[in-house]
Amino acid sequence: MESVEFHTARALLEWQIELGADECISDTPVDRYALPDRLAKPSKPDPKPHLTRGPVKMAERDPVAEAQAAANSADSLDALRTAMENFELCDLKRGARNMVFSDGIAGAPVMIIGEAPGRDEDRIGKPFVGASGALLDKMFGAIGMGRANADAPIYITNTLPWRPPHNRDPKPEEIAMMKPFLLRHIALANPKVVVIMGNWACQALLAKRGITRLRGQWVEAVGKPALPMCHPAYLLRNPEAKRDAWADLLSLKAAVDK
Ligand code: URA
């Protein structure tokens, strides 16, 4: 390989970090655009270029319908995890290191729906293991619940199972495509109540945004009582909102104990 002068190499690295390539995950780079499924090219000019995205032709395949069929055919949480691992139509999968399915105790009365894995979750393959996760554990610990607490368990998943690159906001089509899996996940885990944590989970389950208005008001989602709450990442940035979060936790505990 041609050698690069120090300052040039440094500038190139900084540029890559700026673009979001901020982690080294293998010794040699992989050109994902050169992988076999990226090589298929239309033999004649695509008449509907706006319907062609990456390796998958959206005109020929309906990702939501395929997700729906795959999710519906899963009759257990293990089968659902496998169906999601095998689902190839969401581009987020290509950039993620691990799929993040769930943590905690399946069958718990409380199921928390977060947003999407961040860097730590992508690395470890479990939801809420970073700073937000530490706060989430403290919050639920304060009402006597926990993901490893066999007497008062919680079960946690996310709206999206793969990390969006550089923690960008999920796209509406990504949420729509993964929603059938999320709904099936809730049906199979069958909690007594659902906690809808943050705006993207509200978007997926309630088709609404505006968590600071929605929080604390019980609604129905997937046929279950559901409580929108502010996301722990929001609480870390806005500690004054912790007071309302505490009221929401007490409301949640009362609903579970009823
Ligand atoms: N934020 C989420 O919503 N989910 C995670 O798993 C981590 C951070």
Mutate to test the pocket of ligand 1, among 101, 115, 147 (most ligand atoms within 8 A of CB): 115
Chain segment 61-88, per-residue pLDDT in tens: 999 999 999 999 999 999 999 999 999 9
Ligand 1 center to 57 CA (angstroms): 30
**Does 55 score more than 70 pLDDT?**
no
Range(s) of the domain holding residue 224: 63-257
The reply to whether ligand 1 has any atom less than 6 angstroms from the CB of 158 is yes
Amino acid at 166: H
CA distance 103 to 112: 10
The reply to whether ligand 1 has any atom less than 6 angstroms from the CB of 170 is no
The reply to whether ligand 1 has any atom less than 6 angstroms from the CB of 199 is no
Domains identified in the chain, total number: 1
For ligand 1, what atom is nearest to the CA of residue 158?
A: 4
Asked whether residue 32 is domain-assigned, the answer is no
As given in the structure block, the two tokens for residue 165 are 């690159």
**Local structure of 225: helix, strand or coil:** strand
Asked whether residue 141 is domain-assigned, the answer is yes
The reply to whether ligand 1 has any atom less than 6 angstroms from the CB of 115 is yes
Ligand 1 center to 233 CA (angstroms): 8
Contact 145, 192 (CB under 8 A): no
Asked whether residue 109 is domain-assigned, the answer is yes
Asked whether residue 139 is domain-assigned, the answer is yes
Ligand 1 center to 223 CA (angstroms): 24
Question: Would you mind telling me the total number of residues written for the chain in this entry?
Answer: 258
Asked whether residue 154 is domain-assigned, the answer is yes
**Does 5 score more than 80 pLDDT?**
no
Asked whether residue 51 is domain-assigned, the answer is no
**Local structure of 220: helix, strand or coil:** strand
Which pLDDT score, from 0 to 100, does residue 3 have?
73
Contact 211, 113 (CB under 8 A): no
As given in the structure block, the two tokens for residue 155 are 């079960």
**Mean pLDDT computed over 254-258:** 96
Take atom 6 of ligand 1 and give the residue whose Cα is closest: 127
**Mean pLDDT computed over 229-242:** 98
Chain segment 90-118, per-residue pLDDT in tens: 999 999 999 999 999 999 999 999 999 99
Asked whether residue 147 is domain-assigned, the answer is yes
Asked whether residue 177 is domain-assigned, the answer is yes
For ligand 1, what atom is nearest to the CA of residue 197?
A: 3
CATH number at residue 115: 3.40.470.10
Chain segment 129-155, per-residue pLDDT in tens: 999 999 999 999 999 999 999 999 999
User: How does residue 192 score in pLDDT terms, banded at 50, 70 and 90?
Assistant: very high
For ligand 1, what atom is nearest to the CA of residue 201?
A: 3
User: How does residue 252 score in pLDDT terms, banded at 50, 70 and 90?
Assistant: very high
For ligand 1, what atom is nearest to the CA of residue 231?
A: 3
In degrees, to the nearest 5, what angle opens at C-alpha 81 toward C-alphas 114 and 188? 70
